[in-house]
Amino acid sequence: AQSVTQLDSHVSVSEGTPVLLRCNYSSSYSPSLFWYVQHPNKGLQLLLKYTSAATLVKGINGFEAEFKKSETSFHLTKPSAHMSDAAEYFCVVSRTGSARQLTFGSGTQLTVLP
């Protein structure tokens, strides 16, 4: 079985300050981990994915995430928030070999204050 816990349902930051969205996972197998972003009334866009090649993963729009097996965490960070980053973010896990069935976290709503 696999699951994902997003530790914060809402995060507010000021524009230009760092962003940290926290995610812990549980998986009986070596997982693939993803972060997706969803803007209002839009579909999901892939930010980045971890597939065991490197523990620090760089994604689009300046986001990155670090896979820490000892902590079972995959937190998403960005050095400087932009107004356009305001959206809902989902941490997602899939079992290696079964990448087509994704298990989603409950989401973190990011608000960026001017």
Partner 1 sequence: KAGVTQTPRYLIKTRGQQVTLSCSPISGHRSVSWYQQTPGQGLQFLFEYFSETQRNKGNFPGRFSGRQFSNSRSEMNVSTLELGDSALYLCASSSDRGWADTQYFGPGTRLTVL
Residues that bind partner 1 (CB under 8 A): 32, 34, 36, 42-46, 49, 51, 90, 96-107
CA separation for the pair 32, 96 (Å, rounded): 6
CA 82 to chain centre: 17
Contact predicate 11/76, CB 8 Å: no
Q: How far is the CB of 113 from partner 1 (least distance, A)?
A: 24
Q: How far is the CB of 99 from partner 1 (least distance, A)?
A: 4
Q: How far is the CB of 45 from partner 1 (least distance, A)?
A: 7
Q: How far apart are the first and last CA of the chain?
A: 41
Q: Decide whether 26 or 45 has the Cβ nearer to partner 1.
A: 45
Q: How far is the CB of 50 from partner 1 (least distance, A)?
A: 9
Contact predicate 94/34, CB 8 Å: yes
Q: Decide whether 38 or 77 has the Cβ nearer to partner 1.
A: 38
Q: Would you state the structure tokens that stand for residue 19, as one six-digit string?
A: 């962003």
Q: Decide whether 70 or 100 has the Cβ nearer to partner 1.
A: 100
Q: Decide whether 35 or 78 has the Cβ nearer to partner 1.
A: 35
Which H/E stretch holds residue 40? none
